[in-house]
Chains A and B, each alone.
Chain A
Amino acid sequence: MTTTTYLVIAVVALFFLVIFQISKAAEYVSVLKGEEQSRKQTNKVNAFLMLGFMILGLFGVWYCNHLLYHKTLLPLESASVQGERVDSMLWVTIMITGSVFIITQILLFWFAFRYQEKENRKVFFFPHSNKLEVLWTVVPAITLTILIIIGLRNWFYFTGDAPDNAMKIEITGRQFGWIFRYPGKDKTFGKKYYKLIDDADNSLGLIWKDNAAMNLKDDPATHDDIITESTVYVVKNKPVKLIIGSRDVIHDVGIAQFRLKMDAVPGIPTTMWFTPKFTTKEMQEKTGNPNFQYEISCDQMCGNGHYSMRGVIEVVTQEEYDMWMIKQKPKYFAAFPDKDPANKKDSTVTATAVTPK
């Protein structure tokens, strides 16, 4: 430990000592002065502080908003069509709960101040009032019903079926990263079986050759599946349906800018769909942040690397997407280089050439 540490400890200890001494002294004084009188004095001070707390508190609420609002997602419109609905619902909820917050907090601290103990005050013996109680049962109930209706309409829209033209992408969580799969030209995801997973060349366990021991047959649909890690490309204004899974523990696909998230549960696939509204480039301009990325954050505790389980969604135009897609090679060819037509062509042209490993 350094001397500064000792110094800090000494100062803190001294500070506490002073507080204790003052508190003890205050007690003695109150006994000497007459306890009832000093109690009344303290009562006034505390009543006043209650009022002060309310005023400063409300100011603090405003000030906190002033400092932090622009750091949230709210100033920018949502980057997905679905997120717009989340936002509008959020605003209705803020308005309602915000007004209740302000009214009830003001009443609480105002009553505390206003009805502080006074010599001749006669309290109002008021044990109940059916009218009032019915009032504040019915009004919250009606308000909540409205919120429920708005909420459930959105909920069924979010969890409902994705449109038919949606692009399907599979996303699989693992400790600690994301694996993406596109179905390839045949538009079908080939079958997979978790016992075939091998981090060397088959990270998802695709069934791409016969396996007698496990009684599995090669599924040709796997042969054109495209697998990428950490970054996934999607097209602006085109709905995307994610089919979500996990290899090991529970993860969660969270995309804050789209206002959505869904768990990745091993053994139980889940889905989520959304329609991105802006390309990554557009967002970089809108946010004024050249480093802006749509980040996939893992939102479910999944182990010691949870905080670093980052994926990126690159939202691009259709042309850019097509350009990118052309360059992708099915994973099958990496596992079986001899099946790759590109390699075959090479070997027929120069039979003697050594194909690089």
Chain B
Amino acid sequence: MSNEAVLHTPSSYAVHDDHAHDHHHHETFITKYVFSQDHKMISKQFLITGMVWALIGGLLSVLFRLQLGYPDSKFPWLQDLLGKFWVEDGRITAQAYYALVTTHGTVLIFFVLTAGLSGTFANFLIPLQIGARDMASPFMNMLSYWFFFAASCVMFSSLFVETGPFSGGWTAYPPLSALGQASPGSKTGMDLWLISMALFVVSTLLGGLNYVATVLNMRTKGMSMTRLPLTIWALFFTAVLGILTFPVLFSGFILLIFDRNFGTSFYLSDLYVNGTVLPNEGGSAILYQHLFWFLAHPEVYIVMLPAMGMVSEILSINSRKPIFGYIAMVGSLFAITCLSLLVWAHHMFVTGLNPFLGSIFVLFTLLIAVPSAIKVFNWLTTLWRGNIRFTPAMMFAIGFVSLFISGGLTGIWLGNSALDIHLHDTYFNIAHFHLVMGVASFFGMFAGVYHWYPKMYGRQLNNTLAYIHFWVTMIGAYLIFWPMHYEGLAGMPRRYYDYSIWESFKQFAELNRFISTVVIIVFATQFLFLFNFFYSIFKGRKATNPNPWGANTLEWTTPIHPGHGNWPGEIPEVHRWAYDYGKDDREFIPQTEPVGANESHH
């Protein structure tokens, strides 16, 4: 039967109105690939833009690690490549170093692990897994991507301004970020940074509102909330968190823009900068930190939750066994969402915060470790007595759990204010959040890409490249970040351009060289992934099995190349939860299969 014939069987004709978008009007290149309103295309746009940013962000870290690892070496060729502003006398300048670190942090957290992760998988999976033709508002969805794209352009342009990009750290604390005279990076670079971030907030809100509306309203028949796959729950809570917190960040940025440009004193007081007395009195620099962390702590969970959701799904599918404790998994996602709104000041223990207030934040911060622990134990139990298939996605999912444990446990150290007073802003902190958030979320993202690639492009990735990619990245991640705990335990501060003048910290020169070398290798290995990804879009082996992993969820009931509207015929009805693997001697039972008469209950 030809494709057309499948499309126009009588049953699909009956629901013609349901899929008005389906294959009827002609799509031009522009509407199909550029201003597309198809959630699948938008998700690929987010993914590829995210990958470009990941590449840039990674490259920036290679550059600043060159400085940290080889502070005495000269790189004249870098100077030829980048010019005087960045490299002088063959050495990366301090100004450039801080610009690199700042841009690295900003784009990885916001552009890659927020837009690239949520944007890709919320867009791709929500309609496909809940059984919807598209997002609630495809147009808003398209706008969400284009605001992100605009934000990207502005951020990218800041790399080329004369005074350099913003260089005060991704947290952008005023007064440093408010005053051009305090640092060259706080001049035009900071204006562009703020514009870019403001556009980014708009993008996130447009996307987030859409995700929430779609999950709440557009589930197919039978898809009750308790039958949702955990990916959807995770993406849903992520969107809720974003909607609640990004506006607060936005307000913080607005006040900062006012302080920078219109002479207000929200954050400024009693300043003598660069030889001049400033008129501002009565502001509070700490106010900004409250506004910032009210987003930026939940932000780390915005980065984490989608990865957790996808990992739950992938672990269960490839263990051929139901996820353990579905309700507890949803409950812990919910608990994390709520608690993450109540812990922001744990980033501010040493700002002179009222000690009593600090103690409340200690309490909530350590409380959040409980739902995190539940998740870890549930993942472990999901593996237990399974029948595990090590697909590339599964490898990354297992890697995720390992990294999440390693990084999560040190959160218990930092969350206890009396220890944080020692470890705050040292390399211990860098190790903690890179393991738990940076690398772990990246692993979640890789797992997602490897798992859903056949659905996205109808082709398969090369497995050998995928396994090499996994093992080098996994080993490399630990080699890079594990030893940093020791630097932190020596009190070595973060965001230092050069440690050689410090009697207390210079003993790590050799270690820093080692770490930088591993960074270069791991970075190079990512090209295996990039190559695999782009090569396979065009030349990968064609997927022949519409359900290659033997999964239960709805996206695998669509054709190998789903059109705009996803299902050619009627949207399937759902009869069960997504995790009937290994039940009653059946390897898997898709959600669309009605519950049998003698099926066992659990």
Contact = CB atoms under 8 A, between A and B. Distances in A.
A24 B489 CA distance: 45
Contacts, number: 378
A97 interface: yes
A192 B1 CA distance: 88
A257 B350 CA distance: 17
Given A158-B421, A268-B285, A194 B270 contact: yes
Contact of B376 (A42, A50, A104, A268): A104
B527 interface: yes
B524 to A, nearest CB: 7
Interface stretch (A67-75, A217-225, A330-338): A67-75
A302 interface: yes
Nearest to A270: B352
Nearest to B168: A301
B482 to A, nearest CB: 6
A128 B504 contact: no
Contacts of B167: 304
A96 to B, nearest CB: 8
A154 B416 CA distance: 10
B94 A27 contact: no
B405 A104 contact: yes
Given A144-B370, A158-B418, A27 B269 contact: no
A16 B496 CA distance: 34
B313 to A, nearest CB: 15
Contacts of A195: 277
Interface in A100-159: 100-101, 104-105, 107-109, 111-112, 115-118, 121-129, 132-133, 136-137, 140-141, 144, 147-148, 150-152, 154-156, 158-159
B579 A53 contact: no
Interface string A264-282: 0111111100000000000
A169 interface: no
A86 to B, nearest CB: 5
A325 interface: no
A242 to B, nearest CB: 12
Contact of B462 (A24, A39, A107): A24
Contacts of B320: 117, 123
A299 B275 contact: no
Contact of A128 (B285, B327, B495): B327
Interface stretch (B112-120, B252-260, B359-367): B359-367
A46 interface: yes
B89 interface: no
A144 B385 contact: no
A155 B358 contact: yes
A249 to B, nearest CB: 4
Contacts of B324: 126-129
Closest 4 CB pairs of A and B: A256-B491, A267-B269, A270-B352, A123-B582
Given A97-B409, A268-B285, 4 more contacts: A86-B418, A115-B386, A117-B387, A125-B322
12 contacts: A64-B482, A89-B416, A123-B387, A125-B322, A151-B362, A248-B182, A250-B173, A254-B493, A263-B351, A302-B176, A304-B185, A304-B497
